[in-house]
A and B are shown apart, each in its own frame.
Chain A
Amino acid sequence: MKKITFVLLTILFLSNAAKADIKLPAIFSDNMMLQQQSNAAIWGWAKPASRVRIQPSWSKTDYTTQTDQSGKWLAKIPTPKSGGPYSITISDGKALKINNVLIGEVWVCSGQSNMEMPLKGCIGGPREDMMNTIVKSANPNIRFFTIPHKASLAPENDCIASWSESSPETALSFSAVAFYFGRLLNTILGVPVGLIHSSYGGSSIEAWMTPNALEGSGTVIPTQLTDVPTPNRMPAGLFNGMISPILGYGIQGAIWYQGESNQKDPFNYLSLFTSMVKDWRKQWGVGEFPFYYVQIAPFQYNSSTSAYLREAQLNAAKVIPNSAMVVNMDANSPDNIHPPVKIHVGERLAYFALSKIYGMKGIPCNSPSLVSMEVKGSIVELTFDAPKGTGLTSFGKDVKGFVIADSTRRFVRATATILANKIQVFAPQIVKPAAVRYAFDDVSPSEIFSLEGLPVSSFRTDDWK
Chain B
Amino acid sequence: MKHIALILLALLMTASTIAFAVVRLPSIFSNNMMLQQNANVAIWGYAKPITKISIQPSWSNKRDSTLSDQSGKWKTKVSTPPCGGPFTITISDGQPVTINNVLIGEVWICSGQSNMEMPIKGFVNQPVDGSMDAMVHSKNKNIRLFTVKRNAKTTPQDDCQGSWSEAAPESVYEFSAAGYFFGRMLNEITRMPVGLINVSLGGSTVQGWMNPHALEGTDYLIPAINDSVKSWGSTPTLLFNAMLNPVIGYGMRGAIWYQGESNHKRPENYALLLEKMVLEWRNLWGIGEFPFYFVQIAPYRYNDGVNSALLREAQLKASKTIPNAAIAINMDANSPDCIHPSKKKEVGERLAYLALAKTYHVKGFQYSSPFLKEFEIKGSSIELTFETQSGGKLTSFGKEIKGFLIAGKNRYFEKAIAAIAGNKITVFSASVKEPVAVRYAFNDDAESEIFTLAGLPVSSFRTDDWEVK
Q: A interface vs B, CB < 8 Å?
A: 184, 187-188, 347, 351, 354, 360-364, 388-393, 395-396, 418-420, 449, 451-454
Contact = CB atoms under 8 A, between A and B. Distances in A.
A389 B123 CA distance: 7
A453 B125 CA distance: 11
A179 B127 CA distance: 28
Closest 8 CB pairs of A and B: A362-B170, A362-B169, A451-B127, A452-B132, A451-B122, A391-B125, A361-B170, A393-B127
Contacts of B171: 362
B420 to A, nearest CB: 30
B404 interface: no
26 contacts: A187-B137, A188-B136, A354-B136, A360-B136, A360-B139, A361-B168, A361-B170, A362-B135, A362-B168, A364-B121, A364-B173, A388-B124, A389-B121, A390-B121, A390-B123, A390-B124, A393-B126, A396-B335, A419-B125, A451-B121, A451-B122, A451-B125, A451-B126, A452-B127, A452-B135, A453-B132
B131 interface: yes
A419 B126 CA distance: 11
A454 B171 CA distance: 20
Contacts of B178: none
A453 B169 contact: no
Contact of B127 (A354, A361, A362, A453): A453
A396 B137 contact: no
B188 interface: no
Contacts of B124: 388-391, 420
A364 B135 CA distance: 9
Given A362-B173, A363-B136, A396 B337 contact: yes
B338 interface: yes
Interface residues of B, number: 24
Contact of B136 (A351, A392, A396): A351
A393 B125 contact: yes
Interface in B116-175: 121-128, 131-132, 135-137, 139, 168-173
Most buried by A among B132, B137, B342: B132
A27 B91 CA distance: 60
Given A351-B132, A361-B168, A390-B121, 18 more contacts: A184-B136, A188-B137, A354-B136, A360-B169, A362-B135, A363-B135, A364-B132, A364-B173, A388-B124, A390-B123, A390-B124, A391-B124, A392-B125, A395-B342, A396-B338, A449-B127, A451-B127, A452-B121
Contacts of B127: 390, 393, 395, 449, 451-453
B170 A454 contact: no
Contacts of B335: 396
B265 to A, nearest CB: 25
Contacts of B128: 451
A392 B122 CA distance: 11
Given A390-B122, A420-B125, A451-B122, A363 B169 contact: yes
B384 to A, nearest CB: 33
A109 to B, nearest CB: 20
A334 B203 CA distance: 43
A420 B172 CA distance: 21
B132 A188 contact: no
B135 A453 contact: no
A74 B91 CA distance: 61
B149 to A, nearest CB: 16
A395 to B, nearest CB: 7
Nearest to B129: A453
Contacts of A449: 127
A188 B173 CA distance: 17
Contacts of A364: 121, 132, 173
B132 A418 contact: no
B413 to A, nearest CB: 30
